Amino acid sequence: MKHKKEEIKKIVLEIKRILNRLGLKLEIIPGVDTVMAGRIISEIGDINRFRNADKLARLAGIAPYTMSSGNSELTKASRQENRRLFSAIFFLAIQIVKLKKGTKEPINPIFYEYYRRKISEGKTKTQALICISRRLINIIYGMLKIKTEYRDKNMEEKKVV
């Protein structure tokens, strides 16, 4: 067991080194650790192969497509998605809306409020998490495309105080 834990630590350090060398800072997003960042980036690959965040969302299976015939229109989930990327993003959405242990404070208040708003609009919990996943795709796309850091209002307020 001890040997396996040491191996895991070496692998995590190697992932961190690769992320730093590439200049990618996904770990700044609350709920994203080194392993999750490596998992997401390995599934996405080169971000420049996507023209926009919509194309990345399509790969992740988060963007639905519309089938229409005559006057009828049907929206379906894509079946050509990368299931590993979908599960990583969906799991991240779950992590972001969780409450911190021992408190009633959310990990990310902005996403938590968005989640509550979607549920109050009549969406199911799964549908609300898909909405959060789509927003995460937009954020991740922007971060990878221009190699910038994640910023939210709460982080900026803490720096000011």
Average pLDDT over residues 107-122: 93
Whether residue 28 contacts residue 149, with contact meaning beta carbons closer than 8 Å, is answered with: yes
User: Which of 112, 159, 140 is CA-nearest to residue 24?
Assistant: 140
> Which H or E run contains 58?
helix 53-60
Whether residue 83 contacts residue 61, with contact meaning beta carbons closer than 8 Å, is answered with: yes
Whether residue 135 contacts residue 113, with contact meaning beta carbons closer than 8 Å, is answered with: no
133 — pLDDT class (breaks 50, 70, 90): very high
pLDDT per position as a tens digit, 2-19: 888 899 999 999 999 988
pLDDT per position as a tens digit, 19-53: 888 888 888 888 888 999 999 999 999 999 999 99
Give the number of other Cβ atoms within 10 Å of residue 130's Cβ: 21
pLDDT per position as a tens digit, 41-97: 999 999 999 999 999 998 888 877 677 777 877 766 666 678 899 999 999 999 989
Stated pTM of the model: 0.80
